[in-house]
Structure 1
Amino acid sequence: MLIGSCWVLILFARSSNGIYNGVEAKFDFWTFLASVWVSGYHECGGAVIDSRIVLTAAQCVKNKPVKRITVRVGTPDIYRGGRIIRVTALVVHENYKNWDNDIALLWLEKPVLSVRVTKIPLATKEPSENEYPSNAGWGEKLLESYVVTRKLQNGVTKIRPRSMCAEELVEPVGEELLCAFYTENDICPGDYGGPLVLANKVVGIAVQGHGCGFAVLPSLYTNVFHYLEWIEENAEKLIKNK
């Protein structure tokens, strides 16, 4: 089993954009965050769930050469500090398509756990409607600005009925996804792949915002609880094949 511990709090510092209308994160509570880079550019977020495994979204690494993928961990600044580690293997869900089964695991060249890098456990149950999980990332400040924020931003959102997302998207939203939105907080490109956290556990993976800044519209997260068996099975395969 993947075991870890972490305390996550929302500490509101000075206002910023990144996670749309988020705040600069207190990194001491987000030490499991990873910045996933492809071909020398920040692509997505991720969460360290074991000493050499990062959980992220399939859209971030699907059809990308492994040799071009790295992660930076142990710093709130995606351009300075921490450690840059090569990814040497990855697993993308075999049935990934659009937002369905949007989940992947990255195998790191070496263990990363330290005082500055922790792992976070996985959810053991699905979050309930009207609960308030938190998110964090280095996403774009505005849609199609193609400029990510340098310092890690975090925010808070609210779990909503799946029917709300289904109505907005005009298509079914099943148990593999979580529907969330709250006031003026939103996820943007660059935040995708990052964790949605509740009660110090990863409950979701950011996979789709609504235009980055349309915060009154719901966003989608992969439901981690729904994929626990897949995560465990594929993490074990990565460990055995190291």
Structure 2
Amino acid sequence: MWIGFCWVLILFARSSNGIYNGVEAKFDFWTFIASVWVNGYQECGGTVIDTRIILTAAQCVKNKPVKKITVRVGTPDIYRGGNVIKVTAMAVHENYKEWNNDIALLWLEKPVLSERVTNIPLPFKEPSENEYPSNAGWGEKLLESYVSPRKLQNGVTKIRPRSLCVDELVEPIGNELLCTFYAENDICPGDYGGPLILANKVVGIAVQGHGCGYAILPSLYTNVFHYLTWIEENSRELKKNN
């Protein structure tokens, strides 16, 4: 019992606010995660879903010159290790607006899969209420602090009824979004575009936190299952044209 209590203390002693209330990630479980850079700055997270395709949020790359976007993969450190690869094409959802249709695909200059970089499958169904998926990212430690952790952070959240987000955020939440909230776990700027993982599938894309854990409000993720056809069609077009 005392040993278990000590482990809890160690866990919280290592905690960081990057993924708010998260801990330093064991990278062996996150080899599919990517760091998306724009104009030389770490902007967002992303997910390797194919040998040359990164899944991310539209808000991260819309209206940004492709030649200014790069991706780092194969490392938990956003400044060292892994590989930095240029993005040469992208597909941004044609109806993206704020949180709606917040999804994009990045086409990389060369294949990235290796011992340190894996792809993760897409879901066969959307997660159910009260399931506990994991999130990860290099987001800000505090809201508007503009300081990100160097090492990847991860946490756990909980799928909630969409009605909770409607009531708390006073915003319409449809099937294109997942509503999450759990014990002050939150996503912050810099985490957006990153993955929400359940049963070894990428079920969500981080698109909006609220107060980096200081506001007791739910977070929003693009519901990947809702966009399977869009992902398939646009992946095919990227492969065909590049």
**Contact 2:169/2:217 (CA < 8 Å) preserved in 1?**
no
The letter of the residue matching 1:146 is Y
The equivalences for 1:115-126 within 5 A come to 115-126=115-126
What residue in structure 2 maps to residue 178 of structure 1?
178
The letter of the residue matching 1:99 is W
**Cα deviations by residue, 1:175-201 (Å, 9 ceiling, x for unpaired):** 000000100211000000000000000
1:25 aligns with 2:18: no
What residue in structure 2 maps to residue 8 of structure 1?
none
The equivalences for 1:184-199 within 5 A come to 184-199=184-199
1: CA distance, partners of 2:126 / 2:110 = 31
The equivalences for 1:85-100 within 5 A come to 85-100=85-100
SS at the partner of 2:79? coil
SS at the partner of 1:79? coil
Q: What is the TM-score when the length of structure 2 is the normalising length? A: 0.94
The equivalences for 1:42-61 within 5 A come to 42-61=42-61
Unpaired segments of 5 or more residues in structure 2?
Answer: 1-10
Q: What is the TM-score when the length of structure 1 is the normalising length? A: 0.94
2: CA distance, partners of 1:13 / 1:122 = 34
The letter of the residue matching 1:206 is A
**Contact 1:140/1:148 (CA < 8 Å) preserved in 2?**
yes
1: CA distance, partners of 2:139 / 2:15 = 15
The two structures, once aligned, show a CA RMSD in angstroms of 1.2
What residue in structure 2 maps to residue 78 of structure 1?
78
The letter of the residue matching 1:91 is A
What residue in structure 2 maps to residue 212 of structure 1?
212
1:142 aligns with 2:142: yes
Aligned residues: 232
2: CA distance, partners of 1:47 / 1:40 = 19
The letter of the residue matching 1:48 is V
Q: Shift in Å at residue 211 of structure 1? A: 1.5
Deviates more, 1:13-22 or 1:106-115: 13-22
Structure 1 or 2, whichever has the larger Rg, is 2
SS at the partner of 2:230? helix
**Cα deviations by residue, 1:144-185 (Å, 9 ceiling, x for unpaired):** 001111000000000000000011121210000000010021
Q: Shift in Å at residue 16 of structure 1? A: 1.9
Q: Shift in Å at residue 13 of structure 1? A: 8.7
Identity of aligned residues (%): 84
1: CA distance, partners of 2:184 / 2:144 = 19
The change in CA–CA distance for 1:13 and 1:229 in structure 2 (over 3 A counts) is farther
The letter of the residue matching 1:68 is K
